[in-house]
Amino acid sequence: MPLRLRRQPDLVCQQIVELVTDYLDGALPRADRGRFERHLAGCPQCTAYLAQMRETIRLTGRLRVADLSPAMRADFGELYRGWRAEAT
């Protein structure tokens, strides 16, 4: 009797959001990458989200402290302090 490979269930949007960084980093296993891309093929919202993430990465890669207004720097500092407090 031939071995039947069980197909893993399709990913849902929430899983796409959770996996997008690994996808962009090339860190998803091949099977998960295929599931990810199959979901994208049928989901314009997740396709748009992926495009936004790519653009954010592209733009922030060129971001310098001098590009930020004093208010933006203060906001980022506050966000960082809050994140650090939650991490400890």
pLDDT in tens, 4-14: 455 678 889 99
Place of tokens 């996996």: 19
Give the residue from 20, 13, 5, 19 showing the smallest Cα distance to 39: 13
- Looking at residue 41, its pLDDT comes to 96
Q: Virtual CA dihedral for 39, 42, 43, 47, nearest 10 degrees?
A: 80
The CATH number of the domain covering residues in 13-87:
1.10.10
Q: Where are the domains of the chain?
A: 13-87
The per-residue pLDDT for range 28-47, each reduced to its tens digit, is 999 999 999 999 999 999 99
Predicted model pTM? 0.63
Average pLDDT, the chain: 84
